[in-house]
Chains A and B, each alone.
Chain A
Amino acid sequence: MSEATLRKGLQAFAEQIDAPVAAFFSSCVHCGMCAEACLFYTETGDPRYTPIHKLEPMRRFWEQEYTLVGRLQKLLGLSRPVDDAELTEWRELVYDSCTLCGRCSMVCPVGNDLVYMIRRMREGMAASGNAPEGLIGAATRAITTGSPMGVQLTALKAQARHVEQDIGIPVPFDQVGAEYLVLLSSMEIMNYPEYLSAVAKIFHQANKSWTLASNAFEATNSGIQIGVSDIARELVGRVVQAAEALQVKTVISPECGHAYTAIRWDGPNLMGRPFKFRVRHILEVLDELRDQGLLKVEGREDARLTFHDPCQLVRRGGVIQQPRNLLRMVASHFVEMKDAGQMNWCCGAGGGVSANEEADALRLQAFKRKKQQLEALNVETLVTACANCRIQLEDGLETNNMDIPVLGLTEMIAERLAEKP
């Protein structure tokens, strides 16, 4: 990233304030409903975590630059300009205490998309040098190595060999004409290689062709998290180039929430053109296979279990019914959390929060909401479909002495695949 300065940050604010942002700021009625939708506010009671308040420097910048009253106030010294100290102070509010979960956007009575605005504010924060170190490191590694965690292709190939050895099914690379291009998150390569095993087993059973791409295996997009569109565009572009070169029909976003938002919803806009392939989350693909009778399972999980909806899937993507269809195939005692689906509470670690060590204490405080939800259900197993949620859930459960195993849904399905005839 180029050298960050206040001037660049303010310039980024100016570039980011488009008609929707201006309309959103103009129409805010200061009702405070967004506060009650934000788990950082509900779990701390700290009014600074009210979502609209997190945008205050950008709001004032908008007012001073683009409204008559604001310009006059600035001219008369009645409204102070946004400065570096203020942006530094706001870093905690824009990065540590916002997971981009979008719950606030759902409840705003005038329809303000607060996440849209937070993401635009992050552009100014990053350009002014006020992004957290953890996210800067991840974004830099993503650009230089292709992975925010610096996972090299050789490491992926070693893990793939290991998976092949364990399950006796090939893990294909760079297969031109395969139906599916499977993306992975570095978290899956490092912490949960069983996801790759699960995908290989499922496609083997369904007789579907798939491939990984040597030059674009990573799904996560640090550009989205830190708020640098140029990085986001570069990372999406690598996937698009690989998918088109391999002539795949569908690109599969893995069990990662924001990766799905990045490639499916932001991707075509970042690239400035529609894709020549479909993009689907792995749960959408599994549900399609189920619907086509290609996903055959046997036996059921007897434990009482629930599903944690990753925010980016349910609120940005509408992937609500698919995991439930899949769970009903393999679970006898599936129960729902209060507010499940579209209004589910975030795990507390999305949107780059988990990559940001400065936010550790706060994200575990935010987990209290999930703890309450789980305690109310008294479940024996927790299932989710995002590696980042999974780590946070494991961490939060451990911190709170709650002994509940956390599983990935894809892995759970693969564990129960019927033997291929």
Chain B
Amino acid sequence: MSAINNDSAFKAALDGLGETQQRRVAALFTRQLLSETHDIRVRQAVETLLDGDGDADEETLASLAHSVKSAIIASHTRCGAESDWEEQQRYFVARAAYACVASRSQSKNDNLAWQAAVACRTARTCGLIFSDSPDASQENIQQYQILADFLQQA
């Protein structure tokens, strides 16, 4: 296996995973940001996947997706409202969690784990904006490592 140290290698490795593995990895990415949200629906979705090694039945996934979708709608910023980047971080964590449990037809992209990865990175960026940090997010580097560890254990 070639080293995962850029997004091309990262995406290619994610593309090579089956659906259950993608969900598991997506949940591992999202777990990194769970401390940024108090929303029980989001936490429950990620924890269910992690407890079950990403292998949840369709009914469970549908139920989790339904409740995480509600969490997304509840946390988005309404048009014209004053920006709150801390709240916005929660919104993107919810979007990452949704990628973990969404069905293929609900998903915007075939690669569930990539979608979760991007949402997690955006969430981290929102956190940096909220804290007025000039730093760029290093979430991608952490994700490369998480994926490498996952592949090694698989």
Hey, which bits of chain A sit against chain B, CB under 8 A? Answer: 134-135, 137-138, 141, 147-151, 154-155, 158-159, 161-162, 165-166, 168, 186-187, 190-191, 193, 220, 222, 225, 303, 349, 352, 354-357, 380, 387-388, 391, 394-395, 398, 403, 405, 407, 411, 415
Q: Does residue B106 face the partner (Cβ distance < 8 Å to A)?
A: yes
Which residue on A lies nearest to B138, using beta carbons? Answer: A165
A155 lies within 8 A of B136 (CB): no
Beta-carbon contact of A355 and B69 below 8 Å: no
Of the candidates B82, B85, B88, the one whose C-beta lies within 8 Å of that of A141 is: B82
Are B73 and A162 neighbours in the complex by a CB distance under 8 Å?
no
Q: Which residues of B contact A354 (CB under 8 A)?
A: 78-80
Residues of B within 8 A of A (CB): 7, 65-66, 69-70, 72-73, 76-83, 85, 88, 91, 105-109, 118, 121-122, 125, 128-129, 132, 136-137, 140
What are 29 A-B residue pairs whose CB atoms fall within 8 Å in the complex? A135-B80, A137-B80, A141-B82, A147-B83, A148-B80, A149-B81, A149-B83, A150-B82, A150-B83, A154-B129, A158-B128, A161-B125, A165-B121, A166-B118, A187-B77, A187-B79, A191-B77, A191-B88, A222-B80, A225-B80, A303-B105, A354-B79, A355-B80, A388-B79, A391-B79, A394-B72, A395-B73, A398-B70, A405-B108
Known: A187-B79, A403-B66, A405-B106. 17 other contacts (CB 8 A): A134-B81, A137-B80, A147-B83, A150-B82, A151-B83, A155-B85, A161-B136, A162-B137, A165-B121, A165-B140, A190-B77, A191-B91, A355-B79, A387-B79, A403-B69, A411-B108, A415-B109
Complex: A191 Cα to B84 Cα, angstroms: 11
Q: Is A137 a contact of B82 with CB atoms below 8 Å?
A: yes
A193 touches B128 (CB 8 A): no
- Contact (Cβ within 8 A) A191 B76: yes
B83 touches A190 (CB 8 A): yes
Which single residue of chain A is at the shortest CB-CB distance from B121?
A162
Collect the chain B residues with CB atoms within 8 Å of residue A134's CB: 80-81
Q: Which 10 A-B pairs have the closest CB atoms?
A: A355-B80, A138-B80, A354-B79, A162-B125, A398-B73, A149-B83, A155-B129, A388-B79, A150-B83, A190-B77
Q: In the complex, what residues of A have CB within 8 A of residue B88's CB?
A: 190-191
Q: What are the residues of chain B within 8 A of A387 when measuring CB–CB?
A: 79
CB distance from A216 to the nearest CB of B (A): 18
In the bound complex, residues from chain B placing their C-beta under 8 Å from that of A395 are: 73
Q: Are B78 and A391 in contact (CB under 8 A)?
A: yes
The residues of A that contact B80 with a CB separation of less than 8 Å are 134-135, 137-138, 148-149, 222, 225, 352, 354-356
Residues of B within 8 A of A349 (CB): 79
Most chain A C-beta atoms within 10 Å of own C-beta, residue among B79, B118, B129, B137: B79
B7 near A168 (CB under 8 angstroms)? yes
Check A193–B121 contact: CB distance below 8 A: no
**A415 touching B108 in the complex, CB below 8 Å, given contacts A150-B82, A355-B80:** yes
Residue pair A166, B121 in contact (C-beta under 8 Å)? yes
